[in-house]
Structure 1
Amino acid sequence: MLCGYMRSGTHWNFEIISMLLNGIVETIPHRKESLHLEQASQDKLDHFPSPRVLSSHLLFENLPREILDRKTKIVYLIRDPRDALSSWYTCIKKINLSYNEQWNITLPDWLELSTSGKLEWGSWFENIASWERALQEHPDHPILLVFYEELMQEPLKEITRIKDFLGLPRDEHFCKRVVEKTKFEKMKNDKEKYTERFAGNAVHYHKAVIGNWRTMFTVALSEWFDDLYEEQMAESIFRKRDCRAFDMTKALVGNHFDSNMTYYLLAVENVLDRQEKDVYETGINHSDIDVIGKSVYNVERDYVEKQIILMSSGQVSLCKAN
């Protein structure tokens, strides 16, 4: 199951995960929407036998109960909300989709509307809060967090994480081929005959870059969004956009970690950050541990390592940051 808010990389990851599941590095010969829960009928879903990648933008609690009962593996995508929302704005302008029977909305008005929760799928903040609750309340459900920015910067490492999470016997050579096949321009061209189009233009493929919001936000708009972000994310473990604890988790346990370990360290970081501790600074080598060096927000490295070991063995439960 592939989940994430609108414009968080679901089309890209649909290709990646489908290739990993099928064991064939070939363009998927149909649209992601064919297996999108909110758009596909039961008959259409039944047309695609397993292995298949179902996708959704729904909140965790709105997913079919069967997914929870079966403990279906879920890859949850997270992207900088400024990029996700500005990309959605661009997408909607492409197809001239109108709200209130006309399309004359500016980007500031669009951001205010889309963050209010009044559109389909709610707001980005509601979505991230829902999945954070899922990590807290269903720690035994297999959920892998994939950050769009991490996948852009280190695709081989992230694709390897995904295939390990799914328990697939794909070697490094295979994963490298998937990386090449799913590079943006290559994938965009390969999906040309399958993708949704409007006025001759592909709807879902825009730029696939990190930080494109900077070309669209004014200083005033950026400040407004930052204030909104701090307000909405005040109690969230994902408040820190640079996700330093996420990086530290990977440094400590390599590619063999799950969302629970990530959740724990994000919670530790968030609690200590509220105590106004200094941000730790360290170079991180993702292949081993020996470069951590300093304490993390005055939490000793040995303590954090012990917590990871205890938690992975079931001796420590997740705690909510408060």
Structure 2
Amino acid sequence: MTTKENQSASKSEEDASFPKEFNGLPVEIDYDGAGRPFPTVIVDDHTFSLSVIKNMIPGGNIVEHVQTIRNIIARDDDVLICTFRKSGTHWIWEIVSMLRKGKAEYDPKIKETAMLELLSKDQIEALESPRNLNTHFPLRMLPKDLLEKKRKIIHVMRNPKDVAVSLYHHFKSLKIGVGTVYSGTFSEYLSLFFSLEMGAKGSWNKYVRDFEKFAKDNPDYPILSLYFEDIKQDPKREITKVAQFLDVPYTEELITAVAERCDFENLKKANQEIKDDYITRKIAPDGRQFMYRKGIVGDWKNWFTVAQNELFDETFERWMSGSELKFKFSL
């Protein structure tokens, strides 16, 4: 018979299996709804999964890598795509790549080949110009030189309910070491999302609010803020905005072609048949790509209970108080 004392002892033993610090940072243990431990480290108020940074950050040292990224030298034609995780990074990266080439053609390379988190300093410097850089790092971790030289930034946001669902499936599909990053149910995971992304640590809400404040405080900075839901609702309109922001020549035919090629199902098919997606296949439990799942707005309705949705709404309103950002939770 399992008693509370036995559960507590088991929990303590499991916690003891994690290091107390990593790269000089304390390891914090959060728990899902079933009491399952989820170790993290926090750098500049941004939460990182311990298992992810140990296995995917170059050199495994997140502190050193953050400094490396901050010290990257910007080029005149750099464009930086910034998104919180599972907010349409692949989508907008393909759009930007096609518009800058002036052709609605897929590049065999994947966006991870230009992702700041995954590359060493030498690899970033070896990228051919023009560089379509992308990152999930928050504003405060971006290259200082890029910000000082006012290189163009495209920031894409997605409603946090769909982010929560997509991130859950991402962690369930991400193979690190002997297992996946997360193995619980969605209901069990949601308590983690509240704590890590919406709560006091606030990775998601702090991420979007920091960009909102930056754009407001720096009205002359070339930053284009887009919503995932708007791109889904009217792709040609939003792709035209991107083309105008990038100051590239375009025609109605090009915009239409890019919108068609960058339709979710077409991107998913291209990722399977054209892209050299060696990175995600390597870290997928079954060897398949898992970055493209549904790509829809409102999938959260298939996962949230009424009570969970009400709690989420209360949390969302509290942490976004005073914000002028307007998120769509359905279309």
Q: 1:102, 1:167 → 2: CA distance?
A: 40
Asked if 1:52 corresponds to 2:131, the answer is yes
Choose 128-137 or 109-118, whichever is displaced more: 109-118
1:236 matches 2:316 = no
Secondary structure of 1:49 counterpart: coil
TM-score by length of 2: 0.68
Inter-partner Cα distance in structure 2 for 1:9 and 1:99 = 28
Report deviation, 1:242: 4.5
- Structure 2 CA distance for partners of 1:101 and 1:215, relative to 1, 3 Å: closer
Match of 1:156 in 2: 236
**Contact 2:83 2:155 (C-alpha < 8 Å) held by counterparts:** yes
Moved over 3 A (4+): 96-104
CA RMSD of aligned residues (A): 2.4
| 1-structure distance, mates of 2:180, 2:328 | 39
Equivalent residue in structure 2 for 1:185, among 265, 268, 271: 265
Residue 212 of structure 1: which of 292, 295, 299 is its match?
A: 299
What is residue 73 of structure 1 aligned with on the other side? 152
Gaps of 5+ in 1: 244-322
Aligned partner of 1:84 in structure 2 is: 163
CA contact (8 A) 2:171 2:180 kept: no
Q: One-letter code of the match for 1:124?
A: W
Is contact 2:81-2:155 (8 Å) kept?
A: yes
Taking the aligned partners of 1:101 and 1:175, their CA distance within structure 2 comes to: 39
Alpha-carbon distance in 1 for matches of 2:235, 2:178: 36
- Distance verdict in 2 for CA 1:28–1:189, change over 3 Å: same
| CA–CA distance in structure 2, aligned partners of residues 109 and 141 of structure 1 | 41
1:194 aligns with 2:279: no
With 69-78 and 105-114 compared, the bigger mean Cα shift is at 105-114
Shift of 1:98: 8.6
Contact 1:18–1:52 (8 Å) recurs in 2: no
CA distance in 1, matches of 2:126, 2:140: 26
Instruction: Give the fraction of aligned pairs with identical amino acids, expressed as a percent.
Output: 34
- Letter of the aligned partner of 1:147 in structure 2? Y
Show structure 2 runs of 5+ residues with no match: 1-79
Alignment partners' CA distance in 2, 1:111 and 1:82: 10
Distance in 1 between the 2:131 and 2:178 partners? Answer: 33
Q: Is the 8 A contact 1:22 1:51 kept in 2?
A: no
1:135-180, Cα deviation, whole Å (9 max, x unpaired)? 1222221111111111011101100000001101111111111111
1:84/1:101 Cα in 2 relative to 1: closer, same or farther (>3 Å)?
closer
Q: Could you say which structure has the greater relative contact order, defined with CA pairs below 8 angstroms and 6 or more residues apart?
A: 2
Contact 2:98-2:258 at 8 Å conserved across structures: yes
Paired residues, number: 241
Quick one: distance in 1 between partners of 2:158 and 2:212? 14
- Aligned partner of 1:227 in structure 2 is 314
Q: Secondary structure at the match of 1:75?
A: strand
Q: CA deviation at 1:69?
A: 0.9
